[in-house]
Amino acid sequence: MPANFPTNAVILITVAMLQTGVCVWLILSATLSRMALTPQTKRKWRTGAGVLLAAWLIVRLFLQMNPPAGGVLGAKATVAFVVFGIFAGTLPLWISPTFRQIIDSTPTTWIIGIQAGRAIGGVFLALLDMKLLPPEFACPAGYGDVLVAMLAMPVIYLLATGNSYARKAAILWNLLGILDLIVALITGVTYIPPFMRNLARNGGSPLYINYVLIIPAYGVPLMSVFHIYSLHQLFSRERDFAKEDSR
């Protein structure tokens, strides 16, 4: 590998994304264990989610290890993975009553707690210090991810203790988390391609970016759909309380 190839950083990113996929599956599996569904239904959802999460990650890893001509997966490929992930994660919420029941049965603290994994975004700042990412992307994405990950814990505490401001705090935190992801995607698509071209012209190897971009291709869609799940819970439960109060 070239001297400027951030080997430890790409290993950390790959392991973190694998861990994220496993955590998502474990949350689903643990929730199913608590529900009064048939064993066949539980097995179907566990298997389906496991296959989807594993296949998605394997395909992305295969592409980064066997990139197309030019060696770098471009913005189009990353956006395609983002769109696929968000679509695959939200479609069952709209069309499947069983999946909505699963999400409604998942502890809110679990759905929010997984966002603590967003701290991996700090690696963007480390790569910035190595002059391997543009500051226009690394600063908002890195600091934004770390901030959202840190704020997840106070929000969980407010919810767990039944604080009267917990719901509003959770909604605002979710909106901040979604905004952070949108900003990261926009700045990434805008500033990373020209930065990589300049790096290649100066004799550097841009291949590490295939591993860095696994975060928006895998982690960002998963975190996005968990924000959607959290907001779904917060608003649906408020509607349920309103209905009970009107009786």
Tell how far CA 25 is from the center of its chain: 13
CB-based contacts of 65: which residues, under 8 Å, 6+ apart? none
pLDDT for residue 240 is more than 70:
no
pLDDT for residue 231 is more than 50:
yes
Query: Would you place residue 196 in the very low, low, confident or very high pLDDT band (cuts 50, 70, 90)?
Result: confident
- What average pLDDT does the segment 51-56 reach? 96
**CA gap 21, 137 in Å, rounded:** 24
pLDDT of residue 246: 37
Q: Please write down the long-range contacts of 180-184, taking CB distance under 8 Å and 24 or more positions apart.
A: 180/140, 180/141, 180/144, 180/145, 180/147, 180/148, 181/220, 181/223, 181/224, 181/227, 183/140, 183/141, 183/144, 184/121, 184/137, 184/140, 184/141, 184/144, 184/145, 184/216, 184/220
**CA gap 206, 199 in Å, rounded:** 7
Residues constituting the chain: 247
The reported pTM is 0.90
Q: What is the DSSP letter of 217?
A: I
More confident residue, 27 or 208: 27
